[in-house]
Structure formats: structure tokens, C-alpha cells
Amino acid sequence: MRELASRVRRGLVLAEGKQIEAANLGLLGEEDVAGSMGTLEEYKSRAERQALCDVLTRHSDNLSVAAKVLGISRPTFYRLLHKHQIR
């Protein structure tokens, strides 16, 4: 049950529109993901967004702790949240 709730939260955070896709829930296989990687910048942006979401989930949305874990300042962390439209 915890894993389901975690995946749904992840899907809500990662969804770019009003619809949650399988990729947002981490349900795609490696072949599906490889086919949809896009450019290096898109890939890096998705990885950055995923890291932000993961650290927020892991640390119960404690922004100060999440920034510290990622090794970045709080202002940088807030800028990244805004850039990726998280929160």
C-alpha cells in the first residue's frame, strides 16, 4: 500500500499536464524509456526533476533537508522547484 501511495504521489509531481502517464509512475520498461529519451537537455531536465521529487518524497517535503541532501543552497533548491513547476 505504501508503494502505491508513493507512486501516485510521484505521478502527481511528475505529470506535466492534467493526466498522469505510465512514465510518471515509473511503470515503463527500459525499452519504452530509451525510445522516448529525447535530447540530452531534455534527459538532464527529467533527471533533475526526478531527483527533486525523490528527495522531497524521501524527506517528507522538508525543503531545507532536501536541499542539504542534494548539496545545494536553499535559494538554488527553490529556483529548481520553480523551474520544474514543483509546488
The predicted pLDDT at position 38 comes to 83
The predicted pLDDT at position 34 comes to 54
The predicted pLDDT at position 23 comes to 76
Report if pTM > 0.85: no
Residue 45 burial (CB < 10 Å; 0-12/13-18/19+)? Answer: middle
The predicted pLDDT at position 29 comes to 60
Report pLDDT digits (tens) over 30-83. 555 555 668 899 989 999 999 999 999 999 999 999 999 999 999 999 999 999
Q: How far apart are CA 46 and CA 73, in angstroms?
A: 20
Domain positions in the chain are: 2-83
The predicted pLDDT at position 55 comes to 95
3-class SS string, 68-82: HHHCCCHHHHHHHHH
